[in-house]
Amino acid sequence: MSLLHIDNLHASVDGKNILKGVNLSIRRGEVHAIMGPNGSGKSTLAYLLAGKPGYKATQGSVLFEGHDLLTLSPEKRARMGMFLSFQHPVEIPGVRLDQFIRAGFNSLRQHRGEPELDPLKFDRVIKKNAGMVGLHQSMTKRFVNMDFSGGEKKKSELLQMSIMEPLLSILDEPDSGLDVDALRDVANCIKQLHTFENAVLLVTHYQRILNYVVPDQVHILVDGRIVRTGNKDLAHDVEADGYDKYE
Amino acid sequence: MTQISCSSNDSYRSRFENLISKSSQGQPNWLKSLREQSMNRFETLGFPTERKGNEEWKYTDIKNIATSDFLVPYETTLPSSAKKRLRQQGFDKQDFHQLVFLDGFYSAELSSEALQIKGCIIGPLSQAWRSHAVSSSLGTLANSEDHAFTALNTAFTRDGAFIHIPANTKIEKPINIIFLTLEWQDKIATHPRTLVNVGKNSSAIIVETHCSTEETKYLSNAVSEIFLEDGSHLDHYRLQIHSKDAYHIGTTQVRLNQTSKFKSVSADLGGKLIRNNLNIDVAGENASCILNGLYITNGTQHVDNHVTIDHSQPYTNSREHFKGILGDKSKTAFQGSIIIRANSQKVDSHQENKNLLLSSDAEANTKPAFWIYADDVKCGHGASSGELDKDALFYLLSRGIPEKEAQSMLIKGFITEIIESVDCHTYKSHLEDLVKDKLSKMCE
């Protein structure tokens, strides 16, 4: 059974049709990349899957582990193992990053019938994982994303992913705004977090991150439809020729 | 307990005469004449009930105070409820140097022993009327000439806190001044007074708490005068947790001499109608102040913060940051005035007021005003009012955090930076508890 099965998905934002019949199936252990020009609907698909208010499916269906995903609240989707790494993570004054992650982590544990982790034990977990994603531990004591650099914001998203251990990680442009070194760090980290048990849906505009995180399938999204699916070579073609020939 | 009644200006006069005849024995002549002048001035000014064209009172209607019949207690006894309330407050004499006033009267029993530091006085004003430090400064900063409530306080005040710190002295233990209003059959009025002088290069932390034992109706009209000598440093944390039916007019007048530093963090959680006047005279070169404040209102609470900073000297700094969380049909106002005088070059000043509205019936008003007469200054301000950030809420939900918890994290987070600016650990955790309590009641 597919972990995620999207069938003929149509969706609108503010009354405007963005997705016009997306079909996509992802199994555990796979990495899929969605590439496309600006405005093709990549982020809309990511937000829609995570349940962002204002993003409405008008037709089609999405099954996540066999459950009808579209009827669930964003927090329930997260508890079922869905994770969205934001392209532009939100700054939250007054809420510390470690407290924020702990609140999410404990609600997932509660959902699984496991006891909450006390702050002391959680501190050890976050320390270990912060080291793994290359984020200085002192950053976890700061307010969520406040005064974080572009790279630190991306690493903070990966830190959250590493602790939540989702079944499906939707990574919305985890490579945007990164220099070469930071891109390599982020990509290596994604590779490390990907196992046979989970899946990654990587949304990107450029091919370069796919040199590190090698996808099983690459989908080209243009004007709300997947117009082409292939293996990693498809990404190279796009890099060489651009999206023009698919439009 | 004995009491006398006050309603109109006429009855304020007769109650004043009564009070003087009963309590002025042994008081020095300067005090008698200061009271008399202030009473006269109050009669001339009257209550500021006329709001048309009166910018000072644009947002706050004190008609109910002006027409109410408030009794003035002239003695009080110590009920067990007072001790209980102080225990509930979590204020321990071990953590603070404590001065407790019941209905405006000093309670030796509830207060800490006198501090044994040479030249240092932390005690009741009523035991210091004859001190030169009091007679030479009381009423010189707080303006009875233009402000009816200050005039009324000066006329009627019976007691209050007197803190005199000599030069080159650091007071390690925070001083906690508690003005506690007790339960009365009738509405009462108290006029607590505070006089603080921090000597050259000295420092202290003062917490000023206004609270009550019961949910009764009363008027608390407090005035504080604070002098900071050259190079001194004072943190002033004001906490207002009055009864939900209480009226509170609080005036704090501060004068900063050269290179002195003043930090104020105010918290308004209680009361029915609250008006705070915070007036800072930045009167010495290189002096600076940080004025932070938070207010959390629900029901039909009304909180008006009126802050004036007068930069009369060059190279002075001020930072103002007030944040409010408003629920139900509550209403708030923040009126921040900054004056930069003609010779005050290189002043750096910033003002900010942000409000989080949890209800569409709540109303937050912000009115900044700047009078800048110098040309080489930095002066900025920002204001905003709005609901919870929807993108931030979705971010929290997308991590599996339940909606109620996510909302309360964001609401609490909104004022965290104000709480974090408190540098006294004991008071900070106390304030955190009170804020959490109030917010959990509002978000039920």
- A164-176 residue pLDDT tens: 999 999 999 999 9
Instruction: List CB contacts (< 8 A) between B405 and chain A.
Output: 103, 107
The pair of structure tokens assigned to B220 is 């608390």
Contact: A104, B390; criterion CB under 8 Å: no
Separation CA B408–CA B422 (nearest Å): 21
Separation CA A140–CA A27 (nearest Å): 33
| From B391, B403, B413, residue closest to A95, measured CB to CB | B413
Please name which of B114, B129, B102, B306 lies closest in space to residue B209, comparing C-alpha atoms. Answer: B102
Q: Domains along chain A?
A: 4-92+149-246 (3.40.50.300)
Please name which of B226, B239, B163, B151 lies closest in space to residue B191, comparing C-alpha atoms. Answer: B151
DSSP state of B135: H
Q: Which amino acid is at A19?
A: L
- pLDDT for B5 equals 43
- pLDDT for B91 equals 67
What are phi and psi for residue B151, nearest 5 degrees? -60, -40
Contact: A100, B409; criterion CB under 8 Å: yes
Instruction: List CB contacts (< 8 A) between B403 and chain A.
Output: 73, 75
Helices (runs of H) and strands (runs of E) counted in chain B: 9, 22
Please name which of B171, B320, B341, B151 lies closest in space to residue B251, comparing C-alpha atoms. Answer: B151
With a threshold of 0.95, tell me whether the complex ipTM lies above it: yes
Chain B contact for A117 (CB, 8 A cutoff): no
Optimal mutation site among B401, B417, B418, B432, interface A, most CBs of chain A within 10 A: B401
Chain B contact for A84 (CB, 8 A cutoff): yes
| From A74, A111, A143, residue closest to B398, measured CB to CB | A74
Contact: A78, B398; criterion CB under 8 Å: yes
Separation CA A93–CA A149 (nearest Å): 16
The pair of structure tokens assigned to B80 is 């067990």
Contact: B394, A89; criterion CB under 8 Å: no
Contact: B390, A53; criterion CB under 8 Å: yes
Contact: A50, B390; criterion CB under 8 Å: no
| From A75, A108, A111, residue closest to B397, measured CB to CB | A75
Contacts of B28 (CB under 8 A, 6+ apart): B129, B130, B135
Contact: A51, B397; criterion CB under 8 Å: yes
Instruction: List CB contacts (< 8 A) between B410 and chain A.
Output: 92, 95
Instruction: List CB contacts (< 8 A) between B384 and chain A.
Output: none
Instruction: List CB contacts (< 8 A) between B323 and chain A.
Output: none
Residues A211-237, mean pLDDT to the nearest whole number: 94
The pair of structure tokens assigned to B78 is 């110590």
Separation CA B116–CA A92 (nearest Å): 47
Instruction: Give B293 to chain A, closest Cα distance, Å.
Output: 15
Query: 């909104």: which residue's tokens?
Result: B414
Separation CA A142–CA A147 (nearest Å): 9
- Report CA torsion sign: B407, B409, B410, B411: positive
Separation CA B118–CA B415 (nearest Å): 40
Q: What is the pLDDT of residues A79-113, one digit of tens each?
A: 999 999 999 999 999 999 999 999 999 999 999 99
Separation CA A243–CA B254 (nearest Å): 67
The pair of structure tokens assigned to B297 is 């209102």
Instruction: List CB contacts (< 8 A) between B414 and chain A.
Output: 93-94
- pLDDT for B90 equals 62
Query: 């499906």: which residue's tokens?
Result: A168
List per-residue pLDDT tens for chain B, 444 residues long: 444 444 456 788 888 988 888 877 778 999 999 999 999 999 999 999 887 788 889 999 999 999 988 888 877 777 778 888 777 766 666 788 999 999 999 999 889 887 778 889 999 999 999 999 999 999 999 988 999 999 999 999 989 999 999 999 999 999 999 999 988 878 999 999 999 999 999 999 999 999 998 888 999 999 999 999 999 999 999 999 999 999 999 999 999 999 999 999 999 999 999 999 999 999 999 999 999 999 999 999 999 999 999 999 999 999 999 999 999 999 999 999 999 999 999 999 999 999 999 999 999 999 999 999 999 999 999 999 999 999 999 999 999 999 999 999 999 999 999 999 999 999 999 999 999 999 998 877
The CB-side HSE value for B73 (13 A sphere, CA atoms) comes to: 25
DSSP notation for A72-115: S-HHHHHHTTEEEE-SSPPP-TT-BHHHHHHHHHHHHHHHTTPP
Instruction: Give B239 to chain A, closest Cα distance, Å.
Output: 21
Contact: A90, B389; criterion CB under 8 Å: yes
Contact: B402, A92; criterion CB under 8 Å: no
The pair of structure tokens assigned to B408 is 């309360």
Contact: A78, B397; criterion CB under 8 Å: yes
What are phi and psi for residue A189, nearest 5 degrees? -65, -40
Query: 């009363």: which residue's tokens?
Result: B218
- pLDDT for B9 equals 63
| β partners of residue A63 | A5, A68
Domain boundaries, chain B: 3-386
Q: What is the pLDDT of residues A11-42, one digit of tens each?
A: 999 999 999 999 999 999 999 999 999 999 99
Instruction: Give A218 to chain B, closest Cα distance, Å.
Output: 26
Residue in chain A lying closest to B403 (CA):
A75
